[in-house]
Amino acid sequence: MLGRRTRLVPVVPNALERLILLRLNRAPGPVLDLVGGAAERAVGLALELDLFAALESGPTSLADLATRLDCAPEGLEPLCDFLVALGYLVREDGRYANTEMTAAWLLDADGVGPWLAFWNDVVFPFWEAQAVTAVREGAPRQTLYEWLDDHPDRWRLAHEGFRAAASVLAPTVVERLDVAGDARVLDVGGGHGLYAATIAERHPTVQVEVFDTEPAREVALETARERGVEARVSFVAGDYTTDSLGEGYDAALLFNVVHAHDGPESVALFERVREALAPDGRLYVLDQFDGTARTALSRATVGFVGLTYLVTLGQRAHDVSDVSTWLAEAGFEVQDRRSFLTAPGVSLVVATPAN
Ligand SMILES: C[S@@+](CC[C@H](N)C(=O)[O-])C[C@H]1O[C@@H](n2cnc3c(N)ncnc32)[C@H](O)[C@@H]1O
């Protein structure tokens, strides 16, 4: 058995390197970002080749791995060695193996592999095509959702990516929702259905409806079936800006939806959701908001998603105080705001209809 190092962050400069690069400014700090950019490419390439999956059966020699992946050994070796340096693989006695980090986060069914694949195959190529326009003109020529509608075969990759990102947070978030008994929950823009399925799993008599556009149906119902809750999770296809959302729900979720809309659009959406809620219902808004970050990593994460929302949607990471104002304009009272140690920059805002 090879030793499996656990690396929580792939590249961490040591104390002397931090001093020279980051404190004394005696060497170029951007080199770290160059390595990070190349690391994302290498991991994306490895996922595309199914490299990590090929090592699931145990330590493997370069020759055997090259045969399994149909690669030239001299081509595969530099990729594998870079992944070793980054902490994704180990190499001992001439054999490669996945590290614990890779096993936990890229191979596990609830891992983030599909999320990284979505970034690698769709989002970063979209950045390359649209970033200059978005920065010069304030919006991309078309949004990522419009692009996906023009390339419907890519929707599954998107929903599987969103689901993988949600899998990190879903159990913790669902624990914090105040739903019980035979409550009816509406998941607006619930896409892949993982939040809905997790609620249904945790509360055996609660019913959840996922409201999203048609391309999400297959993945949402598949998620419910895999979790054995298909009898209590349903899917409604529609446009949440124009179609009826129903009525009488005890709780509504708007998770990672508001970042696709500006203030007036968000107010209109909140109003539509208020009409779908029972008078004592609760609205839960989850997103990455500006003004909430307390650490360097949280600030960088919110900055990163803010730029992404600009390039992909022509929007921004909204300030948390703006969202509270929009909720008040739509007739809600904010009751609470919670953040998550495992998801830097993400907040859950809880609101109830004002009387
Ligand atoms: C970023 S995903 C969030 C998915 C899920 N709520 C989560 O937090 O993981 C945004 C979702 O909103 C859906 N969506 C965007 N515009 C929509 C619209 N006008 N009507 C219905 N759904 C929409 C997308 O299809 C997508 O599933």
Q: Which of 212, 266, 285, 315 to mutate to test the pocket of ligand 1 (most atoms within 8 A of CB)?
A: 212
**Is residue 1 in some structural domain?**
no
Instruction: Please answer whether residues 69 and 76 qualify as being in contact, where contact means their C-beta atoms are separated by less than 8 angstroms.
Output: yes
Q: pLDDT (tens digit, 9 = 90+) per residue, 136-185?
A: 999 999 999 999 999 999 999 999 999 999 999 999 999 999 999 999 99
Q: pLDDT (tens digit, 9 = 90+) per residue, 82-115?
A: 999 999 999 999 999 999 999 999 998 788 999 9
Q: Which atom of ligand 1 is nearest to the CA of 166?
A: 9
Last residue of a domain, which of 107, 134, 155?
107
Residue 173 and residue 300 in one domain: yes
Residue 79 and residue 189 in one domain: no
Last residue of a domain, which of 48, 78, 107?
107
Residue 224 and residue 346 in one domain: yes
CB of 353 within 6 A of ligand 1: the answer is: no
Percentage of the chain with pLDDT > 70? 97
137: Cβ–Cβ under 8 A, 6 or more apart, which residues? Answer: none
**Across the strands, what pairs with 239?**
none
**Is residue 3 in some structural domain?**
no
Q: Is 275 exposed, middle or buried (0-12, 13-18, 19+ CB in 10 A)?
A: middle
The count of other CB atoms within 10 Å of the CB of residue 248 is 11
Q: What is the pTM of this model?
A: 0.92
Task: Tell me what pLDDT residue 10 has.
Answer: 59
CB of 213 within 6 A of ligand 1: the answer is: yes
* Residue bearing the CA closest to ligand 1, atom 20: 239
Task: Tell me what pLDDT residue 339 has.
Answer: 86
Q: What is the mean pLDDT of the chain?
A: 93
Task: Tell me what pLDDT residue 8 has.
Answer: 44
Query: HSE (CB half, 13 Å, CA atoms) of 329?
Result: 14
Amino acid code (one letter) for 53: A
Query: What is the span of the domain harbouring residue 92?
Result: 15-107
Q: How many domains does the chain have?
A: 2
Task: Tell me what pLDDT residue 330 has.
Answer: 98
Closest residue by Cα to residue 81 from 106, 126, 53, 51: 51
Residue 100 and residue 123 in one domain: no
Last residue of a domain, which of 58, 75, 107?
107
Residue 130 and residue 153 in one domain: yes
Helices (H), the chain: 15-17, 30-49, 51-54, 62-69, 73-86, 100-102, 113-118, 124-137, 144-150, 155-175, 194-202, 217-226, 263-276, 296-313, 320-329
**Across the strands, what pairs with 303?**
none
Q: Which two tokens stand for residue 129?
A: 């095509």
Query: HSE (CB half, 13 Å, CA atoms) of 332?
Result: 31
Dist CA 63 CA 73 (whole Å): 6
Dist CA 216 CA 187 (whole Å): 13
Amino acid code (one letter) for 171: P
Q: What is the DSSP letter of 121?
A: I
H/E stretch holding 250 reads strand 249-255
Q: pLDDT (tens digit, 9 = 90+) per residue, 264-280?
A: 999 999 999 999 999 99
Residue 233 and residue 349 in one domain: yes
CB of 244 within 6 A of ligand 1: the answer is: no
CB of 256 within 6 A of ligand 1: the answer is: yes
Ligand 1 center to residue 254 CA distance, Å?
9
Ligand 1 center to residue 190 CA distance, Å?
6
Closest residue by Cα to residue 206 from 267, 156, 242, 250: 250
